[in-house]
Amino acid sequence: MEAPVISVVINTNGRRESLATTLEALRLQTYRHFEICIVCGPGPDGTREFVAEQVAVGALKAADCDERNLSVSRNIGIALAAGEFVAFIDDDAIPEPVWLEQLLAGIGDDPLVAGIGGMVFQPNGRDLQFRFSTCDRFGNARHDVECPADASAFPLSAHFPHVMGTNAMFRRQALVAVGGFDEEYDYYLDEADLCCRLVDAGYAIRQRGDAPVHHQFLSGTVRDGEGITAHFYPILKNQLYFALVNGRSHATLPRILDSARDFTACHRADIAGHVARGALHKQALVAFDEDHDRATLAALSRGLSGGRRLQDASRFDAPPAFLPAALAASREADGSRRHVVIVAQESGAAGGVEDARARARGLAEAGDFVRVLLLAAARSRMREGVALRGGVWHHVVYGESSGDDAATLAAALRRIARYHPIDAVENPDGFLTAELTAMDA
């Protein structure tokens, strides 16, 4: 039986450097039967030229989207996709090597399981941005869910499972059946609306506690470099629009408007807090109120119109032929590929960090998955988090206030091993010997 084909869609705009890192991570996937489809937005940073170079050497497919509308871009990606499954990842996300393999295992063979999502790490590589979650008919998500919300996937469910757009995979046939993404959602709630329509059509949505990606949460047209939302028009518009098109079977119009007012008040209070701390100029409150007024009028007009910006199946009828992704050399076939973690301390022996990195590069070039797990020194200028450079994963962790550095590193090892079993840990300074013995036991 042939392995299923996956089309990985990346919708990018103005992030050439981070897109290159996402592509590097895709080349390291353990699952090998996939293609890459990139849809470039109108940003003038050289992304289109960079992608054109990749197309010229047959590494991927590409198309352009001349408007800043994520749903339009996603639909262009579906039209490019030749795979049985379509996976979505952002241009500022780094997928772990097991990402596609674990998503595919979770979605299984049941044609009524339309979609699946995995967990998303915050930029620090430690805290989770998304794992299990439900969304209500007003567009409000709950992220305190302790286990997959599979049982909530039934038509007209008041709280249905959804996925995060930077880590999701869908059956292409199901995407086409429900009209793709609603292009009213230029940004925000696009994937939640899709999951809602799939569930209402009788499909199931699954959630996994693995298949991780690391979301760098870079600045864009909506949020700034500190992760603060500065442009609220699409968020306010789409929240109310979502409730109007998905919530009328569950709530009266006055109740929907009350929910929108509560949502607006919560975000206005956040803006006021940022202004009070000096993170935003006081003009941000004026801009927020202007965004709210415009957003409310647009959402009411479009949400009460009885129409949707969905796509006819014919738009997706004739994707270009499958184009296998250009992948890194692998020792997967003979079973000799290992997952190796090399532990180092910034305050350790002179040259220890560079020695660890050089050792890691050599192992990666030989075909292993390799990580350098680095404990940053006190007052380090290193940023806590996860990066991928030259085929090597770099995890920088900060020590605990208790000073128990070995426990910090052991916790990081356990976190990694939960989603990608570790074959070998190299501990050149020997400061983790006792902890590694305990983990082996």
pLDDT in tens, 58-87: 999 999 999 999 999 999 999 999 999 999
Coil, helix or strand for 41? coil
pLDDT at residue number 441: 43
pLDDT grade for 152, boundaries at 50, 70 and 90: very high
Task: Write out the two tokens for 46.
Answer: 């050289």
Task: State the Cα–Cα distance between residues 128 and 143, nearest whole angstrom.
Answer: 10
pLDDT at 115 over 70: yes
Task: State the Cα–Cα distance between residues 336 and 340, nearest whole angstrom.
Answer: 12
Given a contact cutoff of 8 angstroms between Cβ atoms, the answer to whether 405 and 373 are in contact is no
Tell me the helices (H) and strands (E) count for the chain, helix number first. 12, 19
**Tokens 């910034």 label which residue?**
346
Given a contact cutoff of 8 angstroms between Cβ atoms, the answer to whether 7 and 80 are in contact is yes
* % of the chain beyond a pLDDT of 90: 77
Burial 147-162 (b: 16+ CB within 10 A, else e): ebbeebbeeebebbbb
Q: Report the amino acid identity of residue 212.
A: P
CA dihedral 138, 141, 144, 149 (to 10 degrees): 90
Task: State the Cα–Cα distance between residues 207 and 150, nearest whole angstrom.
Answer: 7
pLDDT grade for 435, boundaries at 50, 70 and 90: low
Residue 164 pairs in a beta bridge with: 167
pLDDT at residue number 386: 95
| pLDDT tens readout for residues 312-326 | 999 999 999 999 998
pLDDT grade for 2, boundaries at 50, 70 and 90: confident
Q: What residue spans of 225-351 are helical by DSSP H?
A: 233-246, 253-277, 283-303
CA 12 to chain centre: 13
CB-based contacts of 363, cutoff 8 Å, min separation 6: 338, 340, 370
| pLDDT tens readout for residues 230-286 | 789 999 999 999 999 999 999 999 999 999 999 999 999 999 998 999 888 889 899
Given a contact cutoff of 8 angstroms between Cβ atoms, the answer to whether 75 and 180 are in contact is yes
The average pLDDT across 88-94 equals 96
pLDDT at 359 over 50: yes
CA 197 to chain centre: 21
**Tokens 């270009």 label which residue?**
320
Residue 395 pairs in a beta bridge with: 373, 386
Task: Write out the two tokens for 146.
Answer: 């302790």
Given a contact cutoff of 8 angstroms between Cβ atoms, the answer to whether 83 and 14 are in contact is no
Predicted model pTM:
0.93
What rounded mean pLDDT belongs to the chain?
Answer: 91
More confident residue, 377 or 179: 179
Q: Report the amino acid identity of residue 135.
A: C
pLDDT at 224 over 70: no
Closest CA to 138 of 264, 266, 289, 241: 241
Coil, helix or strand for 28? coil
Coil, helix or strand for 215? strand
Task: State the Cα–Cα distance between residues 2 and 24, nearest whole angstrom.
Answer: 26
Task: Write out the two tokens for 206.
Answer: 């699954």
More confident residue, 441 or 275: 275
